[in-house]
Amino acid sequence: MPRYKLLLEYDGTTLVGWQRQAQGVSVQSLLEDAFEKLGEKGAFVQGAGRTDAGVHATGQVGHVDLAKEWDPWRLCGGLNAHLKHAPVSVLDAQLVDEDFHARFSATSRSYMYRLVVRSSPLVLDAHRAWRLPPPFDVALMQEAAQVLLGTHDFTSFRASECQATSPVRTLDRLDVTEEGGDVRFFIEARSFLHHQVRNFVGTLQLVARGRMTVAQFTDVLEAKDRRRAGPTAPACGLTLTGVGY
């Protein structure tokens, strides 16, 4: 059976996440329903990352085995025709070797978290960013963020329902930028624990708002205790921007 790699974009606002569930609409269910309408009944789309409800993607990757070989351009167009009323778009489709796996072949995953610092509520970006009021010290937060780089036991930033066998991960990048109150976190690693990125942001914002020092943030990491860290940042600010192979 020919295997295809899919590059995907989606708005997760109204979705229950990547994975098909008993209730609610997921990215996976929308894609598999589109394949069925193309005549590929039983197609099972596997993703590089199981994004949560409300999380967006501009560079999610999936793979699927199909009953027949398709011209990639026609496959992409056909899927999008059946997804025209859905918050999911197929940006590209490629025929790949049968040993390619969207999840297990991945060597890196990149996320961007967006936070807007202002007093007024968000309207246009209400489902695309987390709003927090000033004052907000981005430079101090960036200093604290560098503590997370490298290989660590990230138990303090791991969701209680995380099913990973080990809390140890290697963080390759965590950069923070700011322009006009628009704060963006660019984060990259081979893999992440459940809610790890959102827990990073939820704790780092305490540093930026003067509620935690850089030294205390370091203590949180070393404590290996989720109760010592900050809240989980809202899903709306998180976007999966790319997967490396």
Instruction: Give the chain as a DSSP string.
Output: --EEEEEEEE--TTS-BSS--SSS--HHHHHHHHHHHTT-TT---EESS-PBTT-EEEEEEEEEE-SS---HHHHHHHHHHHTTTSSEEEEEEEEE-TT--TTTT--EEEEEEEEEE-SSPPSTTTTT-EEEPSP--HHHHHHHHGGG-EEEE-GGGS-TT---S--EEEEEEEEEEEETTEEEEEEEES---TTHHHHHHHHHHHHHTTSS-HHHHHHHHHHT-GGGS-PPPPGGGEEEEEEE-
Catalytic, 52? Answer yes
Which one from 11, 33, 52, 225 is the annotated catalytic residue?
Answer: 52
Which residues are catalytic, by number? 52
